[in-house]
Structure 1
Amino acid sequence: MMTKRLSATVLRAAFGAAAASLLFGMSSGEAWAVSAWAPDTYYTAGTIVSYNGNDYQALVNQTDYSSTGWNPTTASLWTLVGPDSGSGGGTGSTGGTGGTGGTTTGTAAGFIYSPYKDTSISMNWNTNTISTNVTGQLSPVLSILPTGVRALTLAFATGECGSESWAGLGGSTLASSNVSLFTAKNVNYVISTGGASGVFTCGTDAGMTTFINRYASNNLVGIDFDIEGGQTQAIINNLVQRVVAAQKTYPNLRFSFTLATVAPAPSGASQATSWGASAPDSFNTYGDWVMQAIQTYGLKNYTINLMTMDYGSALPGNCVLSGGACQMGQSTVQAALNLHDHWGVPYSQIEVTPMIGGNDSAGETFTPSDVDTVSNFVKQNGLAGLHFWSFDRDADCAPGAASPTCNTIGGVGALGYTNHFASDLGQ
């Protein structure tokens, strides 16, 4: 499942890592305080300045001499970060360290709406700034994030905790290049691990501490373990045990397990319907291992995030059917009902993540009307979170094979799903 998570293979300019390390080397106060740009002033790569109501980040070491007319709107020298955050950077971390270590984190709200952002898609490899082309122009993701979206789930860290990487980019580089930007904008983030194309492992509590501290700030609100394949039962057991220990140090973080699911409905049902005590298990082997480990090690404070997508063949055992096709909104609801009824997971510990637009499985399309169906269920039943795969796909393109950079449905508009969910959820 989730084969849409493709990692771009790119060459990164040599000065990109240097720019990230320069920004990483600032103290937390320096990283968040944005000074006004001034001509005839030397700026190192990675420096963020304010100019005419916007913040910009230097791409290279430079001096913007008055005689040249250079300023932060010169695209070869600067990149737009977003609207001016003001001196001091708003209400981001006050006790965290901008990704440089420490145990201060944010506090997860009872409900989190955070689209998944594949960091490898449209990454600015010169500055290592998480970016997107969803509006048709390469931009730092924070510069075009709608006001109704207060959090993003950043995907995916893979490898062993403490030495993890992001599509080949080191964890410390990604953190140093981006955490301060999120805190400056006061946008929350969840760090997601694993995914369809990678495995995240964690053999020691010390490694988990190093991993979390790398991204710690008052805007870090969650750690997500996306378990889709390649893990052994021992790897999953280790992850759950690490979470049991980590919760003592980070009591305000949300720890979620993102699992593939089908959505079998009672015979003849064209809408989501509770099975009650006879609800079937909707997970594959990996999901069962996670649930068994949670029970074995006594983990209490967790959420299960259901990947409600890519059900395969349109059969009653896979999804809610109507007109011979999987009804994606109703199937999302059915998967949540089944998890609640079969495993006894409270709705307050269930999250859902549909795939907007065309799914990888032919004939499966999550439409704008499905947004309403899912949002209403989430609100009525007090679910813990709603997300979608993925932010970069929220742009129009013609129906066809699923794409990592558009919705393959058309007629929704750039950021149409993002804003529709936010509106329905009252964000």
Structure 2
Amino acid sequence: MKATIVTIGDEILIGQITDTNSGFIAKGLDKIGIATHEMLSISDDKQHILDTLHLLQDTVDLVVITGGLGPTKDDVTKKTLCEYMDDTLMYDEKVLVHVTKLIEEYFKRPVSQMNKDQALVPSKCQVLFNEVGTAPGMWMEKGNTVFISLPGVPYEMKFIIENEVIPRLVTKFQRPYIVHQTLMTYGVGESLLAERIEVWEDNLPDFIRLAYLPSPFQVRLRLTARGTDEQLLKNRIFEEVEKLRPLIADCLVGLDEGENIQVMLGRLLAGKQMTIATAESCTGGKIASLLTSVAGSSAYFKGSLVCYATAVKENMLGVASDLIEQYSVVSEPVVRAMAEQAKKIFQTDFAIATTGNAGPEKGEADAEVGTVFIAVATPNRVFVEECKLGQPREKVIDRAVNKALEMVYKEILKNY
């Protein structure tokens, strides 16, 4: 069974807003065995919408549309759908009562005709009730395709998908099962990882597919199985994961998309009742931000000092000025001192420190652009890595953050 997701709105096409609706809808459909065939973004133009509907008619089983259902004149989706379905608009009494109550009781103002017109729907559609907004969703069928139109406001769309659309789709369609398993790896690049597991990948069953999803210092391996026997799919996915584990044991950090490096590191620290702090220069607090993004991080994360300027490194962190003068602010001795001082100030078991030249210009440092020194202070020692992370600036910072977390994670696994 195939679906197409269509977002309507000039604001998406000109880059004014980012489309997050399509991803949410696709995940919801995937969970019930409906594969998204494509995602389209089109303009708020009647003919463009009509052309798209004609194009998709009978080529996919399901079309989910978001956007263009508001009260203003540029929201043309509802009228265009009505024309495409050769239908007429009529007031839905339940929606009209809801809109009236929402405007009068919540917004404390009279209901305008424009507000009332939100309750106009094609006479042949099934109304998908929107408890959290004024624009209802609509379920329409033509030929072999179901057309679902939803408001573009994300929280309204999500409510209707979860409470109206998914239950109806489950009832209406016979769907295959889709089973996913994601493995999170860290510190090994995509091409090296592919070489390492090539034989295993070549021997996967035909109904199981592997996808590589790389990001800086991290690659997600996603196994996807499709079929009619859910338990068989789960069993075979489990068997293949168990075959894969020994091949990537040194870089495997979790078996779930939510088990990223900061989650796994936090779990290690909390389990061992150990603490950590950071002193960040070129990474600008991003390491601390990732660590504290994990629920419960207050149990192990004690604090951070973003010492971007040289004077802050000296006056607040306590790095000796003659050390900086002798070796430069971007150097192994300085980052080592930064980690030692952070561990001392915050009284933690571990500390991470970064200093580098992220670019695009050299600034105060002598080091080449893209050079980053990362130090980790542990209960027993301080160790440093010098990294050449290239350009552009954003990539240097992201790579440095991920490398720092990897260094601490592997150190704790190996020695604690």
TM-score by length of 1: 0.30
Question: Higher helix fraction: Structure 1 or Structure 2?
Answer: 2
Structure with more relative contact order (C-alpha pairs < 8 Å, separation 6 or more): 1
TM-score by length of 2: 0.30
Q: Between Structure 1 and Structure 2, whose CA radius of gyration is higher?
A: 2
Question: Higher strand fraction: Structure 1 or Structure 2?
Answer: 2
